[in-house]
Amino acid sequence: MQNQTKKIGFIGLGVMGKPMSLNLLKAGYSLMALDINPKSLNEVIQAGALRGESPKHVAENSDVVITMLPNSPQVEDVITGEKGVLQGAKSGTVIIDMSSISPITAKKVAGLALTKEVEMLDAPVSGGEPKAIDGTLSIMVGGKEEVFESVKDILLAMGASAVLIGEIGSGNICKLANQIMVAMHLASVGEAMVFAEKAGVDAEKVFQAIRGGLAGSTVLDAKMPLILDRNFKPGGPIRMHTKDLLNVRDTALEIDAPIPLTVQIMEYMKALKADGKAEHDHGGLIQYWEKLANVEVKRK
């Protein structure tokens, strides 16, 4: 049964955006989709979406426009550029940018949207591809409370939780804080498990021994089995996590926040990118320490 309350436009059908859009279709929403990748676009159209011709065309046919794009420049171009969303959006349209971008960009774009009487939320997500597929993402939102409440049902068709953090830009501040913490967890897992392996101790047994204690974490439980299987197929690629940490760095410079550990881990990720591992899952960060120690953490 189709949900007739709101027509949704969805721009950006990548690793995260495609399953998110498919979940909206499963929830019964009317959807118009757009992406530069014809394969992804055709897959979503076959599932029941209409084909968008441009961001402007999508906005002309939508009450709510969701963007899920790689980074700040793409968001600015799609929303504010020639044939962009703001060229076609009606007064009262709501833009939900679910990309992970600079909060500075989010505020800038939202300000331009308001000049067209268009509201905007920044609503980045956490959970990676598996949670995008099963619709259990954690969604962090910045913007006006009344706008958030008006689209909360849409957000919860894609996520297990949607939390309003504060004003526009705060969704991405929360996401960047999340990415700092995930990077720290990944770095500590890599360093600890390579330490154990170098000492001749079975890393899998170390994992099982510590996972229920204070050192246990969601990151450890999610990534360690994949590391042991040498499975670095990306749920969240190193390339994208590096991008997020660059946005942390730029934002920290703007607000004078100290981030010495984040910058250090970002350099490890950049080294792996230079080593041809940009598309490896961010759990593959362990390979930085493996290379230094000349060991490999895997099942015995």
Give the DSSP per-residue string, 14-60.
Answer: STTHHHHHHHHHHTTEEEEEE-S-HHHHHHHHHTTPEEPSSHHHHHH
Decide: 14 and 66 in contact? Cβ < 8 Å: no
Closest CA to 219 of 290, 282, 278: 282
**What length does the chain have?**
300
125-126 and 137-142 beta bridge pairing: antiparallel
SS3 annotation, 168-212? CCHHHHHHHHHHHHHHHHHHHHHHHHHHHHHCCCCHHHHHHHHCC
Q: Which of 18, 131, 175, 243 is catalytic?
A: 175
Backbone angles phi, psi at 266, to 5 degrees: -60, -40
Q: How far lies 245's CA from each of 104, 120, 122, 173, in Å?
A: 15, 24, 18, 12
State the Cα–Cα distance between residues 103 and 247, nearest whole angstrom.
8
Is residue 228 left, alpha or beta, with left meaning phi > 0 and alpha meaning psi from -120 to 50?
Answer: alpha
Tokens of 256: 């004078």
Q: Is 175 a catalytic residue?
A: yes
Decide: 98 and 44 in contact? Cβ < 8 Å: no
- Residues assigned a catalytic role: 175
